[in-house]
């Protein structure tokens, strides 16, 4: 839905850079989901590299363990968030933001959430770096560093609380996307298995345009009735794919 709407929009000149940025993000996130769900042994070297690059670029500030929050690990995610914030500053049509974050989102709330994620990443990086220092520090310095970490953890809790109102529907959509891709991959696996029995050649997974379009629509849909309709469309596509497999 979001991708379709973006193609239909006639944005203000000030908003074009932001829209292009978000369109590319949606495309990459969908590709990342497919790569995550594809068995590791089926990934080519190029696909594995792309998967790892996406993992860094789209790292989740909340889920990222502190022990992994090195400056190198969070660099790309921070750069992406800061670039998104910079581009959002120029947006004049605030009706664009609900396309990506829900009907109740305005520019201020949108930017506040970006700030939250940036702060969380930075706090985790600071704690990570102090933990590295603690390993080599003497008792007095260790005590000071641990006190600073304790304060940072309190700030982390406050930042988490700001994000705790994250829309449950969005979480449900993410799970639906994952489940749909899993089913599609399973259908493709069965198709490849039957091909292997016939000619011993296995093809790489290629999501159909209609499948990726369905994923994109689900990713951006906020209306329950639209969600149900889109989910039914994807199920119909899956049934058609299974019938093709049986017919070969």
Instruction: Tell me the per-residue pLDDT of 179-189, one tens digit each, with 9 for 90 and over.
Output: 655 665 666 66
Range 81-108 average pLDDT: 89
pTM above 0.85, yes or no: no
CA distances to 6, 99, 146, 203 from 3, rounded to whole Å, are 5, 10, 47, 28
Cα–chain center distance at 218: 14
The answer on 193 and 142 residing in a single domain is no
- Mean pLDDT, the chain, as a whole number? 79
The answer on 152 and 139 residing in a single domain is yes
Boundary of a domain, candidates 133, 167, 201: 167
Boundary of a domain, candidates 151, 167, 183: 167
User: Which is more confident, 46 or 207?
Assistant: 46
Boundary of a domain, candidates 140, 167, 194: 167
Contact 148, 127 (CB under 8 A): no
The domain tally of the chain equals: 2
Contact 57, 28 (CB under 8 A): yes
Inform me whether the pLDDT recorded for 168 exceeds 50: no
Percent of the chain with pLDDT over 70: 61
Per-residue pLDDT, 164: 76
Q: Whole domain around residue 155: which residue ranges?
A: 2-167
Per-residue pLDDT, 210: 52
The answer on 211 and 157 residing in a single domain is no
């Amino acid at each position: 839905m979001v991708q379709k709407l973006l193609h239909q929009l006639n944005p203000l000149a000030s908003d074009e850079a932001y829209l292009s940025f978000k369109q590319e993000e949606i495309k990459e996130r969908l590709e990342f989901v497919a790569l995550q769900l594809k068995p590791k042994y089926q990934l080519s070297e190029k696909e594995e590299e792309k998967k790892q690059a996406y993992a860094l670029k789209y790292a989740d500030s909340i889920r990222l363990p502190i022990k992994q929050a090195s400056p190198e690990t969070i660099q790309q995610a921070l750069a992406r968030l800061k670039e998104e914030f910079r581009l959002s500053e120029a947006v004049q049509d605030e009706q664009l933001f609900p396309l990506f974050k829900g009907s109740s989102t305005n520019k201020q709330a949108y930017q506040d959430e970006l700030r939250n994620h940036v702060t969380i990443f930075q706090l985790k990086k600071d704690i990570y770096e102090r933990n590295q220092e603690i390993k080599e520090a003497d008792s007095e310095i260790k005590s000071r560093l641990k006190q600073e970490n304790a304060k940072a953890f309190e700030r982390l809790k406050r930042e988490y609380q700001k994000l705790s109102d994250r829309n449950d529907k969005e979480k449900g959509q993410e799970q639906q996307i994952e489940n749909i891709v899993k089913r599609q991959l399973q259908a493709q696996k069965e198709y490849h298995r039957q091909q292997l029995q016939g000619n011993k050649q296995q093809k790489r997974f290629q999501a159909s345009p209609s499948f990726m379009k369905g994923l994109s629509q689900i990713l951006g849909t906020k209306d329950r009735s639209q969600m149900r309709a889109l989910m039914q469309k994807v199920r119909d596509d899956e049934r058609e794919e299974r019938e093709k497999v049986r017919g070969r």
